Chains A and B, each alone.
Chain A
Amino acid sequence: MLELYDQAQAAAEAIREQWDLTPRAGIILGTGLGGFADRIEKAVVIDYEKIPHFPRSTAVSHRGRLVCGMLEGLPVMAMEGRFHQYEGYPLQQITLPVRVMKSLGSDLLIVTHAVGGLNPYYVPGDVMIIDDQINLMGDNPLVGINDDRLGSRFPDMSAPYTPELIAAGQAIARREDFPVQRGVMVAVTGPNLETRAEYRFLRQIGADVVGMSTVPEVIVAVHSGMRVFGLSVVTDMCLPDCLEPANVEEIIAVANSAEPKLRALVLGILAHERSKGK
């Protein structure tokens, strides 16, 4: 882990050469949510290839560029395209962008991703504010010798998602008059979807939704001392006793249809940040 500090510094330097504002938030846009970046004003777009130590994104509907600019009056940097464990990347590499966000001065990470719903009260198109997470990826981005410049050896995980922002997110949804869920996300490696038996198992250990990302980035954000706000978009329901084959096009279409709610929540959280004047 000792090379990460220098890698993050080098990547941050390359970004600063093109965009010299201090981001108030780093945003990771998940499957089907890439269009969101078009709302960023005065955008400086940097392809991942141009940033040292950044991997390439290979996943469907993930583009692979960093969009820096103004959103809701605040400087932000948004990742269009993220990296997944199932693409073969080590977790330390997947999470490097979060360390770069921190190096550039952001103390808030906003993560979004598409998930399968396990909680039977959820419906496709629902947005869930992530309350907590379970790591079943069999790996952790902090494995290795700890670099104390980056964070502590044993980060506390009693509240990885900032409770104040969870409450703010719920208030935004009430104000905008749409339902929002709040629950537990479990991350697995993928890339295969789960069997019916695995869905039963994940529900039984306490998960409301299941996905193949986000947990590594959130662990690194907590390690870095960042606050975190996480949103899951329920793109299909994983009910083991009436399971239908998953269809990737349909999943992406549902994710796109949830975009207005997601937008309201992300913009609302940024407005909340701005009003705090921090």
Chain B
Amino acid sequence: MQEVAQQITAAAAAVRHFWDVTPRAGIMLGSGLAGLADEIAVEHTIEYSDIPHFPRTTALGHKGHLTCGRLSDVPVIAFQGRFHLYEGYSAQQAALPARLTRALGADTLIVSNAAGGVNPRYAVGDVMVIDDHMNLLFDNPLIGVNDDNLGPRFPDMSSPYDRVLMEIAIEVARRADFVLHRGVYLAMLGPTYETRAEYRMARHLGADAVGMSTVPEVIAACHAGMRVLGLSTITNVGSPDAPNGTSGHDVIVAAKLATEKVTRIVQAVVASLD
């Protein structure tokens, strides 16, 4: 992990070269949630290929650029395209955007993703605020010699997601009159969708939603002492006893349905940072 600090310093310098503003928050846009970026008053767009040490995104529904600008009049950066372990990237690479956000001076990370609902009360198009997570990726971005400048060797994970930001999200949903669940996100490697037996396992272990991302970024954000808000869009329902197929395309269509809800929450949370 010793090289991560240098990589991040170089990446941050490249971003500042294009856009010399200190963001208050970094936003990770998950599958199909790129619409949220349309709400940002864009001041600069940086291709990932122009950011040193940033890999290319290969995933369906993910672009590969950093949008810099203002959301609710607050300076933010938004990552359109993330790095997944199933693409062959390490957890350390997947966590680069979180570390870059911190290096640019923001202390808040907002992560969004598309997830399969395993809680039987969840419906397609619902949004869940992530209360907690479980890591079944069999990897961790903090493996290696710890760099004490980035964070402690053994980060506490007793509440990786910030309670205050969670309350704001819940309030927004109540006032705007839409369902917002609060639950546990389980990260699995993918890229295969879960079998029925795996969905049963996920539910039995205590998960409400299952996905293939987010956990590496959130671990790195906790390591860096950041506040985190996580939002999952329920794009399919993993119902082991009435199986129905899942495709990458269905996931993107369902994610778009929930974009408006996610956008309202993120706007309100970002406004509260000011």
Residues in A lying within 8 Å of B, measured CB to CB: 1, 132-135, 138-140, 142-146, 152-160, 184, 186, 204-207, 219, 222-223
Contact = CB atoms under 8 A, between A and B. Distances in A.
Interface of B: 58-60, 85-88, 138, 189-198, 200-201, 204-205, 243-248, 251
Contacts of B251: 154
Nearest to B204: A205
A123 B58 CA distance: 47
A154 B192 contact: yes
B192 A140 contact: yes
A154 B246 contact: yes
Nearest to B243: A158
Contacts of A145: 58, 87-88
Given A154-B247, A156-B246, 20 more contacts: A135-B192, A139-B189, A140-B86, A142-B190, A142-B191, A143-B85, A143-B88, A143-B191, A146-B58, A153-B60, A153-B191, A154-B192, A154-B193, A154-B246, A155-B193, A157-B195, A160-B195, A205-B201, A205-B204, A222-B192
Interface of B is mostly: loop
Nearest to B198: A134
Interface of A is mostly: loop
Contacts of B88: 1, 143-145
A132 B193 CA distance: 13
7 contacts: A142-B86, A143-B87, A146-B58, A154-B247, A159-B196, A205-B200, A206-B204
Contacts of A219: 192
Contacts of B87: 143-145
Contacts of B205: 205
A134 B190 contact: no
Contact of B196 (A132, A186, A204): A132
Contacts of B204: 204-206
A133 B86 contact: no
Nearest to A223: B192
